[in-house]
Amino acid sequence: MIRITGTGSAVPARRVTNDDLGKIVDTSDEWIRSRTGIESRYLAVEETTTGLSAEAAKKALAAAGVSAEELDLIIAATVTPDRFLPNLSCEIQRELGAKNAVAFDLNAACSGFLFSLDTAYMYLRTGRYRKALIIGAETLSKIIDWTDRSTCVLFGDGAGAAVLENVPEETGCADRASGAAAGNGAGESRGILSIRMGSDGGRGMVLSCDNRPVSNPYVKRESGLSYVSMDGQEVYKFAVRTVPHIIGLAVEEAGLAVEEIDLFLLHQANIRIIEAVAKRLRQPMEKFPVNLRDCGNISAASVPILLDNVRKHDMIKKGSKIVLAGFGAGLTWGATVLEW
């Protein structure tokens, strides 16, 4: 059985409120709150994607009781690594001293953590590796145009991590005993029950950020930096249509009904998207924890930070049935159903 056995998260120290942003662009707390639900975000000043990732990873390893040397695999999902080379995962490997791990990055924007989970799951499922660390980490503030009020109010920085293990069945039995002892009435935890992913490159330009332009002795081109640009309404429509659909498929594949899901942990982009998904699934908002008020949209880091937040607030019990769902640039999307 393949399970998440530990989680961790980290955000920068500097908290920036909507009123703070009102001093640098033509916006207001009222507009940002009412259109998005966001009240503040954390922005890196001294922090790096690597540093935030390593902090989140150390917490996840401690929660799982797994040492860095035991890790076989590290997958980091990011669109904002500190360097082109080496990759973020290798930098995290170095910071942790995880010398036995294979490490590589994955870019699927705001769905990145779901794609990392899917990839790690398949490696563990085949038996090739037993213990994986998956991370979603961003310092989006460095690819945002801080003069563009339509995007700069939305995003934040941070990292979330999870340890994924292929747990032998006998450990599952021990867990079942401890679950019963905890009095939650849960049966044997079955770990990850289903994963469904999707992509549509045809609609990719609704949310984009160019890389550095080609620059070599054979081309004359102004080199310039590009920042995130987004057709917010198109992304909004895509999200409210696609997310309920992919969740429905994943829940069905898990052999469950939507009503049996205890928590839906969605990518934190906009409270109105979360409310629309809840409505389409006919599920109460109490099942949809939210941290975007505090953190804004942290792309690949958003789902694992939320997972860590709800775990720390004891909102997850052994046997809880949880959906994780992401959506974003690419376009990409994905959902998984797991039993804690």
Binding residues for ligand UT7, rule: CB under 6 A, are 27, 31-32, 35-36, 110, 149-150, 153, 207, 232-233, 235-236, 239, 269-270, 273, 297, 299, 328
Nearer to ligand UT7, 24 or 177 (CB): 24
Q: Which residue in 90, 267, 295, 309 is the catalytic one?
A: 267
Nearer to ligand UT7, 166 or 242 (CB): 242
Q: Which residue in 110, 152, 209, 295 is the catalytic one?
A: 110
Nearer to ligand UT7, 113 or 123 (CB): 113
Scanning the structure block, which residue is given the tokens 């695999």? 73
Element (H, E) at 144: none
| Active-site residue flag, 267 | yes
Scanning the structure block, which residue is given the tokens 């049966």? 187
| Active-site residue flag, 297 | yes
Nearer to ligand UT7, 18 or 93 (CB): 18
Q: How far out from the chain centre does Cα 72 lie?
A: 21
Contact status, residue 198 vs residue 327, Cβ threshold 8 Å: no
CB of 276 to ligand UT7, least distance (A): 11
Q: Nearest 5°: phi and psi at 207?
A: -150, 105
Helices 271-281/232-253 angle, 10° precision: 40
Q: Which residue is nearest to ligand UT7 (CB)?
A: 232
- What are residue 40's DSSP bridge partners? 17
Give the Cα separation of 227 and 152 in Å (integer).
10
Q: Which residue in 87, 291, 297, 309 is the catalytic one?
A: 297
CB of 295 to ligand UT7, least distance (A): 12
Give the Cα separation of 54 and 241 in Å (integer).
35
Scanning the structure block, which residue is given the tokens 């109105």? 272
CB of 238 to ligand UT7, least distance (A): 8
CB of 232 to ligand UT7, least distance (A): 3
Nearer to ligand UT7, 121 or 155 (CB): 155
First to last CA, the chain: 11
CB of 38 to ligand UT7, least distance (A): 9
DSSP string, 21-33: HHTTSS--HHHHH
Residues recognised as catalytic: 110, 267, 297
